[in-house]
Structure 1
Amino acid sequence: MFLDRYSTAMTQHIYSLASIFILSLTVFGDVIVLTSGEQLEGTIKSQDGQFVHVQHAILGDISIELKNITTLNGERLPESSAIAPDEEPEENHDDTLWNQSINVGLGIQNGQKNTSDLSTAYHADRTKDEHKVAFDIRYKMSKTDGERTLNRFASSWGNTWYQTDSPWDVFTTLQFDWAEFQSWDQRLVGDLGVEYEVLKTIENNEEFTLTLRLGSGFRKEFQSNNDHLIPEGLLGVGVNWVVSDKQTLTASTTWYPDYDDVSNYRLVTNASWNLQMSNIENIQFSIGFHHEYNSQVDAGVDNSDLQLTAGINYSF
């Protein structure tokens, strides 16, 4: 009898202690009000960008999404803490994209001589914080009566640092060429200089820019009679004419004299005309002109190298 009374008293005592313990958690715990209006009391263990991790006396360890919580301990959560169900985290995109274009040209002529030619080119440029980077790759091959008459590859990497409040800009260029019918097999050319904006006019959709270039560089030819490093000067003029929103014309001529022997020089002229095709976005009809004159070449090699191309240009 005594033992039964003692057991009953102990059980009631344990229940009382448990109730006091649970009540103490309720009184001294954290209060979380959910968006549904329900109130949850427990101990917040940690919190990250999406969840609050809570220890509850009955439910144990649980995680509650911030989007489902209205207040924590009486303080309303900032709106940025709650992520809408359909909202996706914003990706960190670079707002400065590359402007790219691919040009392909084909030509076939049947007559007294059968000729065919293939030309391809790739261009990419990007301007960010007044710094423009440009990359070009070009290849052209021509055949006459089944024999190759032209086989040439060229690549260049250019940098331009613009000065917003000045007509002066700074540029560098590094170019690598490979050719089958020249005085050299490979050639490396590098330049550093300044560009001056002589004239710039803008009227409606038309824009015209005239620039001058002055600088110095080097030329290194491989498998050539002139395989030593040649220091060169640079003097050039360039025109960029945006005729309309569908038509552009660019042209440049540059003289590269050998500092040690001015009679040894190169004269390089480039021009291109692009016409937007009607109702076809990003597609242009393109005509290109390239002429390089070398004053000193090996015997049997032409001083003049002229290339004309026509094809389709796709920009993206």
Structure 2
Amino acid sequence: MRCVRMMIPVLAIALTASVAHADDVVTLKTGEALHGTVVNQADGVVTFKHPVLGQLKIKSDQVATVMTAEQIAAKEAAAAQAKAQEEAAAKLKAEKAGFFPGWDSQLEAGFSGAEGNTEELNLYLRFATKHETDDTRTKIHARYFLSTQNGDRNESEAQAGITKDWFINDSPWFIFADATGDYDEFESWEYRAAGHVGLGYQLVRNEKFDWSVRGGIGAIKEFNSPNDDVRPEALAGTDLSWKINDRQTLNFSNYIYPDLDETGEFRNVTTADWAIKIDNVDNLSLKFGLANEYESNAPSDTDKNDLKYFGALVWGF
């Protein structure tokens, strides 16, 4: 049996020259790591097959560690798992430290103006957030529209709302409840509140499409209005989100609210928007959209349609 005490420098050169990847690793006490196959460990000698130098016999007292392929794979898997756990913990910590922790939120802002014969200023602000667990889904939003002409307001409208869904086991059915509050300086009413409960159905949900329908019943009340009675109304509508690609998303919703007191009267609310992520900027997008509410029983001196369209910069967090 011949040992290789004098061959360590040669082994180091051979290790550097070899690019072949083998299964087992023998690390010498001098720091060199030999890649190859461990043939045997017995009688104080490690028998090792190197892809360049061939079979070697190394005294055990010259060896720091011997790791088989299985041990290396297990060590790498454990390291990868530990890294994944650290990243998940860091992500959870960041979510808990943020605004609305654990929620998917966005803030939108848009404005336009003009000067000349007529001075105009238009402002659009919106905040939206959502949170989903295995059992529930919650969406909250608030928005504000302002328009002025020659310093006088000709539009000032605000809305805030919440929708809560409760999933029914693993089925596509869910129960929902919603509540909405509106303010409009130039409507026949000044304030308005509405709420509904009902049943929904998830038609499609995958990486590209999220499409659901829902129907229910509720009530609406106007304040500072010619008709300030609490009026029962039904609800039927749909929500559709299409992820066109990694940068673009299209959203659409339409809800009709038939008046249960006055047959044939109803209001219809439609929203649509298209968002596109800004290249090389994290969490920033451009959004273009419209929102329209049609009221069949609007006073004769007002328009039945209240259409708004906007462009905005969106910050997601």
Partner of 2:280, secondary structure, is coil
State the match for 1:147 in structure 2. Answer: 152
State the match for 2:74 in structure 1. Answer: none
1:137 to 139, 142, 150: 142
1:173-214: CA deviation from partner (whole Å, max 9, x where unpaired): 1111011011110000101112212334x4xxx612332211
User: What TM-score, normalized by structure 2, do the two folds share?
Assistant: 0.66
Residue pairs, 1:248-259, within 5 angstroms: 248-259=249-260
Q: After the TM superposition, which of the residue ranges 110-119 and 154-163 deviates more from structure 2?
A: 110-119
Change in 2 beyond 3 A, CA 1:136/1:227: same
Q: Once the 2 structures are TM-superposed, how far is the Cα of residue 288 of structure 1 from its aligned partner? A: 2.2
State the match for 1:238 in structure 2. Answer: 239
Change in 2 beyond 3 A, CA 1:313/1:175: same
Change in 2 beyond 3 A, CA 1:199/1:129: closer
Q: Once the 2 structures are TM-superposed, how far is the Cα of residue 146 of structure 1 from its aligned partner? A: 2.7
Partner of 2:208, secondary structure, is strand
**Distance across 1 between alignment mates of 2:152 and 2:258:** 34
State the match for 1:167 in structure 2. Answer: 172
CA contact (8 A) 1:225 1:298 kept: no
State the match for 1:105 in structure 2. Answer: 110
**Distance across 2 between alignment mates of 1:199 and 1:252:** 15
User: Which residue identity is paired with 1:186?
Assistant: Y
**Distance across 2 between alignment mates of 1:238 and 1:126:** 17
User: Which residue identity is paired with 2:217?
Assistant: S
State the match for 1:188 in structure 2. Answer: 193
Q: Which runs of 5+ in 2 are unaligned?
A: 1-88
User: Which residue identity is paired with 2:185?
Assistant: E
Q: Once the 2 structures are TM-superposed, how far is the Cα of residue 283 of structure 1 from its aligned partner? A: 0.4
**Distance across 2 between alignment mates of 1:274 and 1:234:** 27
What is the CA RMSD across the aligned residues, in angstroms?
A: 2.2
User: Which residue identity is paired with 2:189?
Assistant: W
State the match for 1:117 in structure 2. Answer: 122
Q: Once the 2 structures are TM-superposed, how far is the Cα of residue 100 of structure 1 from its aligned partner? A: 1.4
1:65-95: CA deviation from partner (whole Å, max 9, x where unpaired): xxxxxxxxxxxxxxxxxxxxxxxxx999687
State the match for 1:17 in structure 2. Answer: none
1:7-37: CA deviation from partner (whole Å, max 9, x where unpaired): xxxxxxxxxxxxxxxxxxxxxxxxxxxxxxx
State the match for 1:288 in structure 2. Answer: 289
Q: Once the 2 structures are TM-superposed, how far is the Cα of residue 151 of structure 1 from its aligned partner? A: 0.2
Query: Which one has the largest radius of gyration?
Result: 1
Percent identity, aligned pairs only, is 29
State the match for 1:126 in structure 2. Answer: 131
Partner of 1:270, secondary structure, is strand
Q: Once the 2 structures are TM-superposed, how far is the Cα of residue 167 of structure 1 from its aligned partner? A: 1.4
User: Which residue identity is paired with 1:298?
Assistant: P
Equivalent pairs counted in the alignment come to 223
State the match for 2:304 in structure 1. Answer: 303
1:143-166: CA deviation from partner (whole Å, max 9, x where unpaired): 123321110010001111124521
**Distance across 1 between alignment mates of 2:197 and 2:190:** 24
1:90-110: CA deviation from partner (whole Å, max 9, x where unpaired): 999687701111100011235
* 1:228 is aligned to 2:233: no
